Amino acid sequence: MGTSSTTAALIIACFFLSGCYGKTDTSWQLGPFERHESNPILTPQGSTWEAKDLFNPAAWSDGETIYMLYRAEDSTGIGDWNGTSRIGLATSTDGVNFTREPDPVLEPSESWELPGGAEDPRLALIDSTFYLTYTAYDGETAHLALAASPDLRNWTKHGLVFPDRGWTKAGAIVPQRINGRYWMYFGDTNIWIAWSEDLVTWTAIEEPVMFPRDDHFDSRLIEPGPTPIITEHGILLLYNSADENLVYRTGQALFDLHDPSRLIRRSDTWFMEPVNELEVGGQIPNVVFIEGYAELNGRGYLYYGMGDSGIGVAFTDLE
């Protein structure tokens, strides 16, 4: 074959493979997501524990009902710790309209939780036990904490996950054992990984598994979102991020199912960014912050904090 024929063949091959034209394979990603017209679906109410702001929920579905654990702030400590946070429970049979329980299901009671409270829950069900990671904030330092429950209402606290590590947040537990261990992604600058044999005692691997990227939507910080999702492609981690202007957007990352520390793929672009009034102008402006994902009746529901002020939902139709 002559040179011109070889060149032509390569051009044709590149066209059909799309690689030479910059087309990115997104088949491993979840979505696209569409915001629900009813957003915000939950906002502050009353004059006590959920009076100030409501945001950053976790979620789980039993196939008939979605259970949401959400962060609620009261009005104490304005300008200092900015309100004590508690975790409430709400349920829905359609993914959008929720009924709240009157009292919090997890309240701060330990010295390492006060006065800031229990923040930003993330939820995993493993072997009939719910494991809740949350941020315990003593007013100065945030620490990743852990609790467990058989029923989402009665919780046993297991204390700080990394008591000697200092500032830590955002623990997203992979909901199954891999290579004889359980795994958790965590962190709010880089993303690290930790392992456990019993889901209570955790050992962090010192080298981060994922970093911010220059000149991208996630250039300043990254943080795990909801419970990682096991797919045919690997471990799918939906994550939060911010750029140099502290505009929070969301991305997707794929890790190796056989080696959860190995990053395989990462989205080139964000899939959610602040657009509506509460997301752009809430108590913390320019924030969409995902922490809960659940599936119900052929749809995936992604729950998120809107400017640290209310709760929104976006949905995707599942094939």
pLDDT in tens, 236-248: 999 999 999 999 9
Domains and CATH numbers, the chain: 31-317 (2.115.10.20)
Give 78 or 33, the one with higher predicted confidence.
Answer: 33
In this prediction the pTM is 0.91
Contact between 33 and 318 under an 8 Å Cβ cutoff? The reply is no
Closest CA relative to residue 209, chosen from 194, 198, 199: 194
Q: What does the pLDDT average to over 29-52?
A: 96
Q: Which residue in the block uniquely carries the two structure tokens 């509460």?
A: 278
Name the CA dihedral angle for 262, 249, 240, 289, rounded to a multiple of 10 degrees: -160
DSSP 38: T
Q: What does the pLDDT average to over 186-209?
A: 97
Burial per residue of 284-303, b for 16 or more beta-carbon CB atoms within 10 angstroms, e otherwise: bbbbbbbbbbbbbeeebbbb
Cis peptide leading into residue 32 (ω within 30°): yes
What phi-psi label fits residue 18: left (phi over 0), alpha (psi between -120 and 50 degrees) or beta?
Answer: left
What is the percentage of the chain residues whose pLDDT exceeds 70?
93
